[in-house]
Structures are given as structure tokens and as C-alpha cells.
Amino acid sequence: MYDKKEKEDYFVIVEDNGVGIEKKDLDLIFEKFYRSDFSRSRDTGGAGIGLSIVSRIISVHKWTIGVESELGKGTKIIIKIPKKSFRESL
């Protein structure tokens, strides 16, 4: 999804070096109330709505969002904003 040579788009990349997300969960993390680690309580793991809200905002703007993750190494969320659509929204 992310190509450093790409000049027609802007990218927002948020990454961590946390526990990562299992491959089987990657397609589900943008679903409302989904948490990949069900052993977490709401006190320590959130409500599972953050990424669903972000995904909806991205969709409304006709941008794209993707995720890359590896267990034990962390997760990278990539938002792709076409320059053309960015200029139109200003």
C-alpha cells in the first residue's frame, strides 16, 4: 500500500512496536467493538470503536486505510490520501 516513490498521494503512518495483531484478525480490526484480544477488559483494552470511527472518516473522504502487523513486532496503520482529493476538501 505504501510506496515511497509514489508522488500523487499523501500518507499518514502510525506505527507501534507492541504485541502485533494475528493475521486472522487483520480484516476485522476496523469492525465496531472488535478487539483481537478478548481477554482484555474495557479498563485496559478500550471499547473497540476507535479504528471503526477512523475507518468511517477515511471512507467518507474517499481515502484508503490499511494495516500491516507482525506478532511480537508491532502494527502499522497506513492512511492514503490522494493529493487531488485533499485539495478538493480544502
Tens digit of each residue's pLDDT, the chain (90 residues): 555 556 788 899 999 999 888 898 888 888 877 666 654 455 556 667 788 899 999 999 999 999 999 999 999 999 999 887 766 655
And the C-alpha cell for 38? 478478548
What is the residue range of 37's domain? 9-89
Radius of gyration of the chain (CA): 14
Identify the CATH number of the domain in which residue 65 sits.
3.30.565.10
Alpha-carbon gap, residue 72 to 27, rounded angstroms = 19
Give domain status of residue 3, yes or no. Answer: no
Count of structural domains, the chain = 1
Give domain status of residue 19, yes or no. Answer: yes
Give domain status of residue 47, yes or no. Answer: yes
Alpha-carbon gap, residue 49 to 52, rounded angstroms = 5
- State whether residue 35 is helix, strand or coil: coil
Q: Name the pTM for this structure.
A: 0.73
Alpha-carbon gap, residue 16 to 9, rounded angstroms = 23
